[in-house]
Amino acid sequence: MADLGLVAADLVVGLMLGCVFAVIAHGLNVIWGVTKVVNVAHGEFIMLGAYGAYYLNFYLGFNPLLSVPVDAAIGIGVGFLFYFGLLHRELRGKETITRESEMVTLVATFGLSLILSNAALAIFKGDAVGIRWAPETLALGPVDVPLGGLYVAISSVAIIAISDLFLSRTYLGNAIRVQPRHRGCATHGD
């Protein structure tokens, strides 16, 4: 039988790692699950986000949590650019997204992922970088909870909650949700 204290410590770290995975997958969930674009380049967008946070910290001294909204704003711009560069010609005016269109988005974003990762390799070089931002730990019984991970877990749950509310409660969110299935409804409104 495993040591209970060890299991508890691993459970806490696992929960926080799970929140990081969740917020990473959340971006794909919005792109693929809601708008039906199979974005194979999602990992490369995550990589760009990580570099964005690194350079915001390096040049402007931003705390990683503070760079989240800045990164999200840059991400909207970059996503807009890639959508109109790669996918708009295929998806324009479609009533529903067919299997063929899904394959087009898959192949296009696969090419984009190769371009992005190799361009990043050429620009940023292969060295591993990182931000040394580690607030103290919080002793919770026998388990030491790193506060940085805790802040990340809280913000990821908040990001998911806000997106869920936006997509289910607001007019624009409902229009985005309906759009890939039935474009007619989305443009006419109801």
Partner 1 sequence: MAGGALLTVWLPVGITPLIGATYAPISFVIVVLGGPGKMWGSLLGGLTLGILIDVLPAFGISASIAVAVAFLILIPVLLLAREGILR
As a residue count, the chain comes to 190
Of 5-24, binders to partner 1 (CB under 8 A) are: 6-7, 10-11, 13-24
Question: Whole-angstrom Cα distance, residue 118 to residue 39?
Answer: 17
Residue 49 CA, distance from chain mean position: 8
Q: Interface residues for partner 1 in 113-142 (CB under 8 A)?
A: 113, 116-118, 120-121, 124, 126-134
2 is a contact residue toward partner 1 (CB under 8 A): yes
Measured in whole angstroms, the distance separating CA 127 from the mean position of its chain's CA atoms is: 23
What span, in angstroms and rounded, lies between the C-alpha atoms of 27 and 45? 9
Q: Does 33 bind partner 1 (CB under 8 A)?
A: yes
Considering the rule CB under 8 A, would residue 103 count as an interface residue with partner 1?
A: no
Contact 41, 113 (CB under 8 A): yes
Candidates 57, 101, 105, 179: give the one binding partner 1 (CB under 8 A): 57
Contact between 106 and partner 1 (CB under 8 A)? no
Residue among 85, 157, 182, 187 that touches partner 1 (CB under 8 A): 157
Half-sphere exposure of 121 (CA within 13 A, CB side): 6
Residues 59-98 that bind partner 1 (CB under 8 A): 64-65, 67-69, 71-72, 74-75, 78
